[in-house]
Chains A and B, each alone.
Chain A
Amino acid sequence: MLTALILLPVAAAVVMMVVPARRQELHLPLGIALSVLPLALAGYVFWIFEPAPGFQLVELVSWYEPWGINWFLGIDGISLPMVVLTTFLVPIALAASTSIKTKTKEFVVYILLLEAGMIGVFLALDLFLFFVFFEAILIPMYFIIGIWGGERRVYAAVKFFIYTALGSALMLGGIIALAVSYSSQFGSPSFAFGDLASVDLSPGSERWLFASFALAFAIKVPLFPFHTWLPDAHVEAPTAGSVLLAGVLLKLGTYGLLRFNLALFPEASVEAVPIMGTLAVVGIIYGAVVAIVQPDLKKLVAYTSVSHLGFIVLGTFALTSGGLQGAVIQNVNHGLTTGALFLLVGMIYERRHTKKIEDFGGLQKVMPIYAGFFLFMIFASIGLPGLNGFVGEFLILIGSYTTLPALTVVAAGGVILAAIYLLWAYERVFTGVPDKEENKALSDLSAREISLLAPIVALVLVLGLFPGILLDKISPSTEAVLDYIEDQTAYVVPEPGRLADVYLAGEDR
């Protein structure tokens, strides 16, 4: 089943390749239709997924026996939401790409291959396999930015590629070192996640290995100060690229930290809590402050990602139930809201061929529906309760306080800054009287554009009010992570108050 989930987009890409290049009108519709298949399958996986700890639907096929490399897949409450998010965003990203007029076939193929890679990363339980997917993703993304991007696309693509590849080169070293240690300790080679977690490491080497993984993921997230590739990549990437970059690719970093750093190096993770927490909080505040004065709408949204992903890293390294649950669900939430904001920026760019805030003004008068969607997503991003962003942010903040009080208080300041940068941008773009000629005759959203945004709006509301749909499936896995860390280290998850009493009292009511 999980193999099929990875191979479906690949198969779809193969089908696309058969379509003649000159039948341009077919490429996008066919691509969208094909990309619905992985979504359907992911939906089925979500449906049958049991809310229980441990990996489900595990598949294991030997790949390269001498090195102990396996095609080893499995899914748990941490990867499940990411897989569903990925398959959900791909059809939307494709459907938002009608402005791509050159090499449309290749474009669809790259997006589908990208999807396969992203799903693979989340499902891989063999570290070698994980790394192959992790790196394989770079290639289609490199081309998506480099071929269909904006004016400085080559610069941005190369920067993106080199920066992230450099980080992961170190991680590969870490993976090999781990595998070598395993084989010397247990006598047989393996890259399996569970096996490598059982390697006995000296505190010194555990720290170094932690750092090699953490750096690779920190660049992906991106954590301050490794973030400067992101605004460039976003500004130059076509809309579909930005949606998938913000929606999924950045989550490879937060996912990796949670899945691999915490489990493979629990001792070092506990030690690194203050460092990672500090970097996360610096990112939250710094990203937000820098976002305030960005003149380019897309760059502004890009910097909000730096700030928002800081919350996820904070929640991860807070090592509490609330923090971890919040981190996992915020991965999804950020993907939805920021993905939608990039879609929205793309829609106005297609009309005006500019993303400069100062070129707009008074758009609410001419495009009220567009303004409505934009404002909705702004409030989702700000973390308005009732919408999805709040659930993650609030769980993270409340959950992190018990382990990182001072940092969490500072992080909460990001809540003020978010309101400033987004509402100020809204004020400048949408309110007042439209005074520029080019803006006076803009057409409001088409039915096609509304149909792209509507499913995201629906999910934003559903997850804001009924987060249990996800949290029920997430929490057994995050609890398992905490149990594992408690088991492996001297760390004890702080227990605020006495939860048990309250739950009992709750049942009596």
Chain B
Amino acid sequence: MTDFLWLIIALPLAGAVLLHFLGRFVGEPLSGWLASLASTSAFVFALVAAWPFIQGGEHSTTVLLWEWMPAIGANLELLWDPLAALMVLVVTGVGSLIHFFAIGYMHGDDRFDRFFTSLNLFMASMLTLVLAGNYAMLFLGWELVGLSSYLLIGFWFTRPSAAAAAKKAFVVNRIGDFGFMIALMLVFASFGTLSYAGIFERADEVLGVGMATAIGLLMLVGAAGKSAQVPLYVWLPDAMEGPTPVSALIHAATMVTAGVYLIARSSAIFEIAPIASTTVATVGAITALWAATIALAQRDIKKVLAYSTISQLGYMFLAVGAGAYVAGVFHLMTHAFFKALLFLGAGSVIHAMSDEQDMHKMGGLLKKMPTTAITMGVGTLAIAGIPPLAGFWSKDEILGSVFARGGWFSALWIVGLVTALITAFYMARQWVLVFLGEPRWSQDTSPHEAPRVMTIPLIILAGLSVVGGLLNTPFALRLERFLEPSFEYVTLQNPPEGLAMFAVLAGLSVMASLVGGGFGYVSYNRPKQRWLDFEDGFEPLWGTWEQAYRVDDLYGAAIVAPGKKAAEVAAFGVDLAIIDGAVNGVGSAVRRLGELARSLQTGYVRNYGVLFLGGALVIVIWLVVGR
């Protein structure tokens, strides 16, 4: 079976290549169905290949495809282990549902086939990332998902804001990559290879604490770029310029979790670098709270979800930083379900409202689009952490494990708990603003339920958001047993033992969710003027949140503007005036000689001969006299 693992990447890649060249002729909707078929068959294939792991007792394998850069131990090779298998299943499973949804969502777009070309390219790239057997190939996937993200954020390229957002996403990610690349230099300098097989086994004997910490922190820089953590998260909200299925697939469910995956995959290195791990957890906790407060005050339905995604990714960082790798990956999975659901639901709403995204102009949509409303409601409860839905189990496992670490982590635990409360609040706010209350949309929009190709994926994702958490409960740690072989070099952090402890901790976080969610529901389930007054009551905080703490302005003033100024000085001050000025100063004298020579027709050769003979003479004289 593993001999054919490459098919998991090749199927969507073939879809992308096929649609790239023939998409124009295939057209709508067939190109969408073809892309979905490619993605779905990758899922089915992955499920078959993963079956031995699910049954237990199967060893992980490495499959060499071909040599790439053997001098640095970087070949194209696949690692098939439980962690990779889980990631592949999430990516292809959720990805396929989003493909189907997009067939309905992108209906009528004149670049329909192009959209699915890029979507399939993304799938192939993301699968390369998670199946890679070494860091160089992981980096290959890492950059290719960046490319797909660039193409899809800027899909509506005639909108200047979309084009700018695409560029911003790529550039900010490159800042992260800078750290990642230095990490890889250190890894290569330490191990002489970039292959997982040559690294993790020997990590504790090769790496000192200092080196491991450096590598860990630099990987965190890369991970923070890709997974939109403080301070590199600023590209993700802008990335909402892309079509909504893209936001669901790339900027919520899959690509942005690559940073979490990177840290989980490198657990053997982080295990010997407690400072790096603690930093990961701290960055995660700060991001979780920071983004949650911004999400509170957003009016754009997608911006709420974007900041929510950043915040939830923060939870995952908190988990893997605390050594609770399984909890982090678990939350990665449940989040993929409910956040894809929420984004697709938002897409359904936007679709129905003729591209309106401002929640102030929504309201009362429950009756118009019940399927979307109910499934989004399920997603809202799941992310808020209401038991027994998926988000409850995964978030609770994270918070419990962090609590169990004690010390500094106790502070992070409180941050996580507060974030849970805020999360429940802003999600309740969103659901109520969109679906309840009096309709605030204009007369000429006529909201309607989405077609079935869009609602069926919503229903499936809602189902997964309900039961997905049962994969790993304190009563049956199925996922933990499944993933354990991938974390053989680390001691996994778990929540405190015992049912009583579980009841107390779970009780606390459920309480936080109920308080936050209830408060949000009550505050917004009333006439518009009332909740506007409510929001005004929080000024100036509310405005600060709404403007996302004006971080973009800060970066613009502190980095972008001075950077551009410096580039101008370098180009027109230094280069043109000083360096080229000096050259021309010398040159003008020589040019006079050249002009003289030009009048002699064949003079160039002579002039030239004089020049090099002169130079030669200088050297010879120096050699003779100088000794």
Binding site for B on A (CB under 8 A): 135, 138-139, 142, 158-159, 161-163, 165-166, 168-170, 172-174, 176-177, 180-181, 205, 208, 212, 225, 227-229, 286, 289-290, 292-294, 321-322, 325, 362, 364-365, 379, 384-386, 390-391, 394-395, 397-399, 401-402, 405, 408-409, 412-413, 415-416, 419-420, 423-424, 426-427, 430-433, 465-468, 471, 475, 495-499, 501-502, 505-506, 509
B614 interfacial contact with A, CB 8 Å: yes
| A180/B583 in contact, CB under 8 A | no
Nearest B residue to A508 by beta-carbon distance? B197
| B71/A431 in contact, CB under 8 A | no
In the complex, identify which listed stretch (B81-89, B137-145, B422-430) lies at the interface while the others stay far away: B137-145
| Total residues of chain B contacting the partner, CB 8 A | 83
User: Complex formed: what's the CA distance from A468 to B71 in Å?
Assistant: 10
In the complex, chain A residues whose CB is within 8 Å of the CB of B166: 423
- Contacting residues of chain B (584-624) with chain A, CB-CB under 8 angstroms: 587, 590-591, 594, 604-605, 608, 611-620, 622-623
User: Complex formed: what's the CA distance from A427 to B197 in Å?
Assistant: 41
Known: A412-B181, A497-B206. A293 touches B571 (CB 8 A): yes
In the complex, chain A residues whose CB is within 8 Å of the CB of B623: 177, 180-181, 205
B163 interfacial contact with A, CB 8 Å: yes
Known: A395-B72, A467-B69, A502-B195. A416 touches B175 (CB 8 A): yes
| B66/A466 in contact, CB under 8 A | yes
| A415/B71 in contact, CB under 8 A | no
B243 interfacial contact with A, CB 8 Å: no
B238 to chain A, nearest CB (A): 13
| A135/B612 in contact, CB under 8 A | yes
B180 to chain A, nearest CB (A): 10
User: Complex formed: what's the CA distance from A405 to B177 in Å?
Assistant: 17
A213 to chain B, nearest CB (A): 11
In the complex, identify which listed stretch (B48-56, B154-162, B375-383) lies at the interface while the others stay far away: B154-162
In the complex, chain B residues whose CB is within 8 Å of the CB of A169: 611-616
Known: A384-B144, A409-B182. A496 touches B580 (CB 8 A): no
In the complex, chain A residues whose CB is within 8 Å of the CB of B150: 423
Known: A420-B171, A432-B163. A286 touches B608 (CB 8 A): no
Known: A208-B622, A293-B564, A427-B167. A397 touches B181 (CB 8 A): yes
User: Complex formed: what's the CA distance from A290 to B567 in Å?
Assistant: 6
User: Complex formed: what's the CA distance from A227 to B575 in Å?
Assistant: 9
When each residue 119-139 of chain B gets 1 if its CB lies under 8 Å from chain A and 0 otherwise, what string results?
000000000000000001001
Query: Shortest 6 CB-CB distances between A and B: which pairs?
Result: A497-B192, A173-B619, A169-B615, A431-B163, A401-B185, A169-B612
| B622/A386 in contact, CB under 8 A | no
Nearest A residue to B114 by beta-carbon distance? A368
| A379/B163 in contact, CB under 8 A | no
| A386/B188 in contact, CB under 8 A | no
B613 to chain A, nearest CB (A): 8
In the complex, chain B residues whose CB is within 8 Å of the CB of A430: 157
| B620/A509 in contact, CB under 8 A | no
| A173/B615 in contact, CB under 8 A | yes
Nearest B residue to A295 by beta-carbon distance? B571
A208, A227, A379, A408: residue with the most chain B Cβ atoms closer than 10 Å: A379
| A391/B616 in contact, CB under 8 A | no
Given contacts A162-B591, A385-B140, A386-B144, list 17 more A-B pairs with CB under 8 A: A135-B612, A161-B604, A172-B612, A208-B622, A289-B566, A385-B142, A394-B74, A394-B136, A399-B72, A412-B178, A415-B174, A423-B150, A427-B163, A432-B158, A468-B66, A497-B191, A499-B193
Q: Which of B170, B181, B568, B617 meets A419, CB within 8 Å? A: B170
Known: A177-B623, A427-B164. A162 touches B70 (CB 8 A): no
Binding site for A on B (CB under 8 A): 62, 64, 66-74, 76, 136, 139-140, 142-144, 147, 150, 154, 157-160, 162-164, 166-167, 170-171, 174-175, 177-178, 181-182, 184-186, 188-195, 197-198, 206, 564, 566-568, 570-572, 575, 579-580, 583, 587, 590-591, 594, 604-605, 608, 611-620, 622-623, 627
| B185/A408 in contact, CB under 8 A | yes
| B571/A294 in contact, CB under 8 A | yes
Known: A135-B612, A205-B623, A466-B66. A162 touches B618 (CB 8 A): no
| A163/B583 in contact, CB under 8 A | yes
Known: A176-B619, A505-B198. A289 touches B570 (CB 8 A): yes
Known: A180-B620, A384-B143, A395-B72. A505 touches B564 (CB 8 A): no
| B594/A158 in contact, CB under 8 A | yes
A193 to chain B, nearest CB (A): 19
Q: List 13 A-B contacts (CB under 8 A).
A: A161-B604, A165-B612, A290-B570, A292-B571, A384-B147, A385-B136, A401-B186, A409-B182, A415-B177, A416-B174, A467-B68, A496-B189, A497-B189
A395, A475, A509: residue with the most chain B Cβ atoms closer than 10 Å: A509
Nearest A residue to B184 by beta-carbon distance? A398
